Each structure stands twice: as structure tokens, then as C-alpha cells.
Structure 1
Amino acid sequence: MESFSPISAAAGGVLIGLAAAVLWLGNGRIAGISGIFGQLLPPARTVVWRLVFLASLVIGTLAASYLVPGLGIGGPGGAPARLVTPANTPLPAVVWIALAGLLTGFGTKIGNGCTSGHGVCGLARLSRRSFVAVGVFFVVAMVTVAVTGIV
């Protein structure tokens, strides 16, 4: 853990919690990104706030990249993020990203939510289902790291 930066991690956690609280208190909705995104197609009646929330995620990330130059792995001055593809595979990174996106979408559909919905909002509401889901997320993440060796 040579790139651990507690200040930026704490700031990120506070901002995520604040965004979830603002959405919950202001709109009565849980900040589960898969649910918010999933209701765009076909459009739900409440499409405007969903578009605003998702656009804010992208704009906030863009703003952070300009406000904190060199923001990368390990905080300011860290190495820029890069795509990692499995070794010895003929498939390009774009195919792996598409497959990962499809599998993630399928998983969030059968899991009735994603890590942001269960991990941030569900645990805060003491949801039993979210405790189980987050436990499964952690176990799968540990197995994935053990199998791939990518940290």
C-alpha cells in the first residue's frame, strides 16, 4: 500500500456520502448508479433528475482533474490511470471493457443493485440484503485479485 493517501480518500468518502445524502434528502431516492442509469432506457417518468445526477458525476470528475492537476493513482502527482488487460489474450482492451460492462450490468440486475447502492446507501440504512450483497462483493473481489494477480 505504498500509494495510500488518507486525506484524499477521506475527502472522496465525504463527497460520496454528501452526494448520497443530498439525493436522499432532496429527492427521496437512493444513489444506486445502476438503478439510476437503468431507468434511462426505456425512459422513466423521472428522467430529468437521473440525467442531472449522471451528468454531475462526469462533470465533477472532469472538474477534479482540472482543479487537482496530476490526479492519478496515489493522489496528486501519482501515475495516470491505465487500462489493464489480461496477459496472453488476443482480445483488445475495448472488448474486455465491453464484456466487463455487460457482466457488471447483468450482476447489478440480478443483485438488485450495485456497490454504490448497497455499499453506501444500503449499509447506511442497515439493510440486511445490502450487508449480504457487500459481503459477496468483497469475497468476489478477493477471489478476482487472487486469480488475476492484478492489484
Structure 2
Amino acid sequence: MGFPFPNGVTSYLCGGLFLGLGLMVMYLTLGVKAGASSFLSSTLTYVTPLKAERGSRDWRLLFALAMVLGAWLYAATHQAFFFTAVGWWRLALGGLLVGFGTRLSSGCTSGHGICGVASFSRASLLAVAVFMAVAIVTARVVMLLGVTP
């Protein structure tokens, strides 16, 4: 198919459809816009003094576990376990920066990018524009500096 999608678009379309369907069902049945950061913060309330989303943390914990188990199940059934040459400290630093950005923007790429944009939220549209701009600039700077894993 070409450069952007060397293995075709079918898996991306299927993944997007399943993701959209799942989020639609959650919104229609629970009345919540789903985002991964709210699942993580509510799950952490079991072991930390965080106060976020305590009232709904049971189903949010199940959702968080389902994301992890779903990825594991896919990897196990498709022999698609991925490993990286990126150093652990870079992964940890990246995780901290993403966590900081998530708190700063009051949501993550899934919450703003999928649910927020779909509902035409101005805050989410702005957040996604900032996410994309920062990602593009960061990728370019890293590439120009010649940084490798």
C-alpha cells in the first residue's frame, strides 16, 4: 500500500471501529467519556491517597485490566510480542513526561483525542492540537540531534 501503511489499513480500521464501538457503549450505558488517564488515576486510589474517581473505580479497574489483558491476548495469539532497544531510563523519563502532560491538559490522548474530539469539545480540540504539535517538534528535534535508542 505504500509508505504510511506498509501492511495495509485493515488492522487500523478494525482497531478504530472496535475502539469507537467500545467507547460508544460505555457512553451510552454509563454516561462517561472514557480516557485511559482517568482509569489509571482511579485504579491508583486503591493503593494511594489519591481522591480521583473513587466512586466508580471498580468498573474502571476492570476496564484498565481489560486493556492490559487485551493487548496480551493479541500478542499471544499473533506471536507479536514487541521488544525495544530503548533504554529503561528513557522509557521512564518518557512516561513521566507523558504523565505530567496528561495532568497539565486534564486528560490524555484517548480521552481528548477520541471522546473529546468526537463530541466537538473546544478544550479537547485544543489539547489534541498541542499534543500533535509537541509530538511533531519533539520527533524532528530528536531526529536532527541523531538520538538513537
How far the C-alpha of 1:35 sits from its partner, in A, is: 1.4
Structure 2: runs of 5 or more not aligned: 47-53
Residues in 2 aligned to 1:4 and 1:141: alpha-carbon distance in whole angstroms: 24
Residues in 2 aligned to 1:84 and 1:28: alpha-carbon distance in whole angstroms: 41
Residues in 1 aligned to 2:44 and 2:67: alpha-carbon distance in whole angstroms: 19
* 1:81 equivalent in alignment to 2:82: yes
How far the C-alpha of 1:70 sits from its partner, in A, is: 3.9
What is the 5 A alignment of 1:30-41?
30-41=33-44
SS of the residue corresponding to residue 44 of structure 2 reads: coil
C-alpha RMSD of matched pairs (Å): 1.8
* 1:49 equivalent in alignment to 2:59: yes
Residues in 1 aligned to 2:96 and 2:133: alpha-carbon distance in whole angstroms: 20
What is the 5 A alignment of 1:2-151?
3-43=6-46, 44-67=54-77, 69-71=78-80, 81-85=82-86, 93-149=87-143
Structure 1: runs of 5 or more not aligned: 72-79, 86-92
Normalised to the residue count of structure 2, the TM-score between the two structures is 0.81
Residue 77 of structure 1 is matched in structure 2 by none
Using a 3 Å threshold, how does the CA distance of structure 1 residues 128 and 84 change in structure 2: closer, same or farther? farther
Identity %: 37
User: How many residues matched?
Assistant: 134
Give the letter aligned to residue 51 of structure 1. Answer: L
1:17-47: CA deviation from partner (whole Å, max 9, x where unpaired): 1121121112111111001211223341221
| Contact 2:42–2:61 (8 Å) recurs in 1 | no
Using a 3 Å threshold, how does the CA distance of structure 1 residues 140 and 38 change in structure 2: closer, same or farther? same
Using a 3 Å threshold, how does the CA distance of structure 1 residues 4 and 131 change in structure 2: closer, same or farther? farther
SS of the residue corresponding to residue 120 of structure 2 reads: coil
Using a 3 Å threshold, how does the CA distance of structure 1 residues 135 and 21 change in structure 2: closer, same or farther? same
Residues in 2 aligned to 1:48 and 1:124: alpha-carbon distance in whole angstroms: 26
Higher relative contact order (CA 8 A, sep 6+): 1
Residues in 2 aligned to 1:84 and 1:17: alpha-carbon distance in whole angstroms: 32
Give the letter aligned to residue 101 of structure 2. Answer: G
Give the letter aligned to residue 63 of structure 1. Answer: L
